[in-house]
Structure 1
Amino acid sequence: MNQTITIGQAPAMVDDALGAPPVRATGLRVDFKDQPGVIAGLDWTLAAGQVVGLLGRNGAGKTTLLETLLGLREPQAGEVRLFGQSALTPDDALRERLGYVPQHAALFEDFVVGDLLRYFRSFYPRWSDAKVDGLMSRWDIPRDRRISKLSQGQQQRLSIVRALAHEPDLLVLDEPVASLDPAGRRDFLRELVDQVIDRGTTVVFSTHILSDLERVAFNIAFLSRGRIALQAPQDVLSDEVRLLAGPAARLQATVDAFSGQVLSRRELGDQARWLARFPDGRLPQGDATLRCEALNLEDLFLELTQ
């Protein structure tokens, strides 16, 4: 399906003096030479303080979307506005409000760690030495070592420290824990939650580790066929979304009777599998000809992104 469906999204909030949301993308289209429509007419708005986990299959365009949101990639159509300002022409005040951790740590490998931190500190008036000191100590990153000599996990941690140090209002993370061991992932996720609770930071991050996503992402967004196919809080996904299986006519009658909304369809001969939302709290019950079941996050991901 090409329709964007948002379930239980937080009401619009006043995000800055002008009321502009942290992220508003409208009509985004990104084409690659050999792959048109990587992002295809995407509309997406994030409210202040939302934590959104972005899910999509490999090659679905998650990194492309995150780069486009930050103005690091120019779309063929549409626009992104961050706090009301064009992402492609940010001023210094806007840059100071943004934090970004790319999938592969983009660090100056010839720098010594302490020199790198001092270099970036000069750009950010809100840089927090206390936050840096605490993270560097807890994550055991030596300040006197050349970055090229750090392990991949240490470089990833350092990239996260750099992104959190100036206490951004919008934090974008692309597979931020891919190089971390389980203990490192827990520490990072705890820090991320604290950042949101303490400052109301808006966070969007992609990850393929669903258990991590379930710990911290209050909203889940599914990227499929170049668009956000569904976004909803985790509890809403659990309470309102069901997989229906049975004859197509029976599924249609059930959806109609319970005021459901079909999210995806698969027809298998005279049998069908539909993913449907029942937003008013009334849920159908399965019987001999109808299967009705709740899905965990992994199964829901597979159904939505097939």
Structure 2
Amino acid sequence: MTEVVVAINALKKTFGRQGVLRGVDWQLKKGQVVGLLGRNGAGKSTLLECMLGLRESDGGAVTLFGEPVHALSEASRARIGYVPQTADLFDWLTPVQMFDYFSALYPRWNDARVEGLMLRWGFHGEARNKPIGRLSGGEKQRLSIIRALAHEPELLVLDEPVASLDPVGRRDFLRELVGEVIDRDTTVVFSTHILSDLERVALDVAFLKDGRIGLQAPLDELLDGARRVTGTGAALDALCLEGEIRRERHADGAVSVVARLSPAELDSLRGMAAVRVEALNLEDLFVEVTR
């Protein structure tokens, strides 16, 4: 049986009168790579912070590696890597000094990997010894990513990790993620608004909507089956599509259904004159699921 790394049950978080997380149930298994999607303000960062115990929840339970998140052992904490949306570093230290400090905290800290990443990502010469507070936002984000990868975590949580990186930096990071992290059977949660990046690395996609995980499935499976089917209400009602996600009536009386269709359902729709079937890409599906 595959190990459950993250187990979230009925997780709730409220800010004032606004319920951001409304009973989230979610599981992540060993080696699973999940892209977390949701509109701005949907609560993605809040979910990840509550998942890691960085923000107190208002109800529900979270376990990581089988331990309650509020009582994690030091050994379990050492198995986690986290890249926040905004780099949280020691601005008064240099990159070399900061990594020397963190290396003493993690038994599996990999100095050779840190050195290799620093060289590949532009931290050589003066950049190695410049106070972090004087570095650019993109350079700070690179350092944050190096810090998260250096101890070879078994759970890697990335909250918009490439938001402040230029296209070259994003490409370098994604290459590192695919080549070094995913191949080690690391469990990865990757929140991003750049869908093209997500398609390069995510094996599964989860959509956060209305405070819950509204849909999760393998990305290839979603894209293979996601369709917009348009026709009369009577025609679509007669089809009884089981994977219906959303239904919309148009001014001309036509009805559109967005659904995850099985191979049998796709076969049954081929050649039907009464309906029109359109394939959806990830951006289309994101818009439809989170609407």
TM-score (norm 1): 0.89
Counterpart contact for 1:49–1:200, Cα < 8 Å: yes
Separation in 1, partners of 2:37, 2:183: 26
1:82-231 mapped onto 2 (5 Å cutoff): 82-141=64-123, 142-231=127-216
For 1:213, give the aligned amino acid.
L
Q: Once structures 1 and 2 are overlaid, which stretch shifts more, 234-243 or 45-54?
A: 234-243
Separation in 1, partners of 2:17, 2:63: 28
Per the alignment, residue 238 of structure 2 pairs with 253
Deviation at 1:285, TM superposition (A): 2.8
CA-atom RMSD, angstroms? Answer: 1.5
Separation in 1, partners of 2:161, 2:236: 40
Per the alignment, residue 276 of structure 2 pairs with 291
Aligned partner of 2:26 among 27, 37, 44: 44
Per the alignment, residue 30 of structure 1 pairs with 13
For 2:255, give the aligned amino acid.
A
Separation in 2, partners of 1:178, 1:292: 35
Sequence identity of aligned pairs in percent?
A: 56
Per the alignment, residue 56 of structure 2 pairs with 74
Separation in 2, partners of 1:129, 1:64: 32
1:233 aligns with 2:218: yes
Separation in 2, partners of 1:233, 1:175: 20
Q: Once structures 1 and 2 are overlaid, which stretch shifts more, 57-66 or 288-297?
A: 288-297
Counterpart contact for 1:240–1:281, Cα < 8 Å: no
More helix by share: 2
Separation in 2, partners of 1:282, 1:272: 18
Separation in 1, partners of 2:264, 2:97: 56
For 1:231, give the aligned amino acid.
Q
For 1:159, give the aligned amino acid.
S
Residue correspondences, number = 285
For 2:163, give the aligned amino acid.
A
Runs of 4+ in 1 over 4 A off after TM superposition: none
Per the alignment, residue 305 of structure 1 pairs with 290
Aligned partner of 2:2 among 4, 14, 26: 14
1:278 aligns with 2:261: yes
Deviation at 1:180, TM superposition (A): 0.7
Counterpart contact for 2:11–2:21, Cα < 8 Å: yes
User: Residue 253 of structure 1 aligns to a residue in which SS?
Assistant: helix
Separation in 1, partners of 2:262, 2:187: 26
Relative to structure 1, is the Cα distance of residues 267 and 76 closer, same or farther in structure 2, using a 3 angstrom cutoff?
farther
User: Residue 180 of structure 1 aligns to a residue in which SS?
Assistant: coil
Separation in 2, partners of 1:227, 1:249: 31
Structure 1 unaligned spans of 5+: 1-12, 16-20
TM-score (norm 2): 0.93
Deviation string, structure 1 residues 88-145 (Cα, Å, up to 9, x no partner)? 2211011000000000000111111111101111110000011101100000122211
Q: Once structures 1 and 2 are overlaid, which stretch shifts more, 160-169 or 269-278?
A: 269-278
